[in-house]
Amino acid sequence: MAEPITFYFDFYSPYGYLASRRIDELAAKHGREVDWRPFLLGPAFAATGHRPLLDTPLMGDYAARDFARSARLQGVRFKLPAEFPKAALAPARAFYWLLDQNRQTAQALAHAVYRATFGEGRDGTRAELVADLAEPLGVPHAELLAAIQRPEIKQRLKDETRAALERGVFGSPFIFVDDEPFWGNDRLDQVDRWLQSGGW
């Protein structure tokens, strides 16, 4: 089987959410798995000098409209959380803690957090909510809450974020097909085509 494609995303990225709803199926169509890699956009913004979309003059109004329009086009429910953007530390730390135990559980949690955050507009940065969403996946509530406070888990997210930036990631979603980079939910059709043809 060919190498997995890599899916970098921030848990508080609406376009990351939209891409998350297509990426597994798209990869499977071409016999690929998806290596999900949450990171934090904050350090990427520090590197590029950009601000979160909604805080950027002119772009903010467009982005708010485009989040909803893109979701409608994709047939996906969308509701922006009341407080947006925020640093999504808890779900990303929980993800990496779970990843080393069971990759499928980690990815299932990522889907659940994204659905709660952008499908229902809930505050997906809250550790309590993340633990609630993980419980039906067989993850003990108290264990998750304790794990994401551990220094090595906090450090893991920092390391993953640094590694993403070193690989050239500056936005969410950001996808690598082998070494070919694609930025943005609106590039998924190109990802599909690249997987099909091996380039153009």
> Cα separation of 113 and 17, whole Å?
9
169 binds a second copy (CB under 8 A): yes
Q: How far is the CB of 47 from a second copy (least distance, A)?
A: 5
Q: Is 119 exposed, middle or buried (0-12, 13-18, 19+ CB in 10 A)?
A: middle
Minimum distance of a second copy from residue 105's CB (angstroms): 32
User: Where does this chain touch a second copy (CB under 8 A) — which range of 12-20, 58-66, 78-86, 122-130?
Assistant: 58-66
Tell me, rounded to whole angstroms, the distance of Cα 101 from its chain centroid: 19
Provide the H-helix boundaries in 3-101. Answer: 14-20, 23-29, 41-48, 59-74, 89-99
Question: Nearer to a second copy by C-beta: 56 or 149?
Answer: 56
- For a second copy, which residue of 29, 72, 77, 141 counts as binding (CB under 8 A)? 72
Determine the Cα–Cα distance for residues 14 and 68; give it in Å rounded to an integer.
9
Does 192 interact with a second copy (rule: CB under 8 A)? no
Residue 111 found at the interface with a second copy (CB under 8 A): no
Q: Which of 44, 49, 79 is nearest to 64 (CA)?
A: 79
Among 28, 62, 150, 178, binds a second copy (CB under 8 A): 62
User: Taking the CB of residue 109, how many other CB atoms lie within 10 A of it?
Assistant: 25
Please report whether residue 146 would count as binding a second copy according to CB under 8 A: no
Residue 180, classed as helix, strand or coil, is: strand
Q: How far is the CB of 52 from a second copy (least distance, A)?
A: 12
Token pair recorded at residue 152: 């090595």
Return the range that interacts with a second copy (CB under 8 A); candidates 48-56, 106-114, 115-123, 141-149: 48-56
Summarize as ranges the residues that interact with a second copy (CB under 8 A).
44, 47-51, 56-59, 61-62, 65-66, 69, 72-73, 165, 168-170, 181, 183-184, 186-187, 189-190, 193, 200
